[in-house]
Structure formats: C-alpha cells, structure tokens
C-alpha cells in the first residue's frame, strides 16, 4: 500500500462554521475551547457556544459550529521534547 501524505485544510464560514481536515485526535473540548492534534501540530480553537457537529477521525475530518474567536497552532513536537528531555537526563 502507498503511504498517503496527509495534508490539512481549514474552511471558515462567517466565523460560525469551521471544517478541518488532517485531524488525528481530539485532546479536549468544551463550549469555550477545543484542542485538536493535527498533522500540522496542536490546534487550539477558542470561542463561545462551540460544538463539534461532525467528527470522523478515520478520515481526519471535524466540523465545529459556534462563535469562533481564535485559532492557535503550537508545535507538533511538544510531546517529543518532553520525552527527549527525560531521556537526556537518564543517559547524561
């Protein structure tokens, strides 16, 4: 089988509907914040009355509704840096 290179797309409609592809895992969610692990890193979405209206992790697609206020990425390798720091201390 061929390995597919995963890409990520964000489609924002009127700050009320957000479609995201390339989602690997939902870290946590509530009405004010949703945190997703994506192929491009961790994505934090903040807003009001947020709701995950569609979730398909097999395809990596998520649809979110509500009043969106911010979308912030953080580096994908944050968990790896913690492990590397721990291992470096052991083998020092």
Tell me the C-alpha distance between 21 and 14, whole Å: 18
Helix extents (H) in 1-92 = 78-90
Question: What are the E-state strand segments in the chain?
Answer: 10-13, 17-20, 23-29, 33-38, 41-56, 61-74
Q: Break the chain into its structural domains and give their ranges.
A: 10-90
What pLDDT score does 6 carry?
79
The pLDDT of residue 91 is 59
**10-90: CATH number:** 2.60.40.2000
Going residue by residue through the chain, which has 92 residues, state the pLDDT in tens, using 9 for 90 and above. 445 557 899 999 999 999 999 999 999 999 999 999 999 999 999 999 999 999 999 999 999 999 999 999 998 654 444 445 555 555 55
Per-residue pLDDT at 81: 46
Is residue 23 packed enough to be buried (19+ CB in 10 Å), middle (13-18) or exposed (0-12)?
buried
Question: Which pLDDT score, from 0 to 100, does residue 75 have?
Answer: 82
């Amino acid at each position: 089988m061929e390995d597919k290179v995963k890409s990520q797309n964000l489609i924002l409609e009127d700050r009320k509907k957000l479609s995201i592809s390339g989602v690997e895992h939902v870290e946590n969610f509530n009405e004010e914040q949703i945190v997703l692990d994506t192929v491009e890193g961790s994505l934090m979405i903040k807003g009001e009355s947020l709701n995950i209206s569609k979730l398909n992790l097999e395809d990596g697609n998520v649809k979110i509704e509500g009043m969106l206020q911010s979308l912030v990425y953080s580096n994908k390798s944050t968990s790896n840096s913690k492990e590397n720091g721990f291992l470096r201390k052991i083998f020092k």
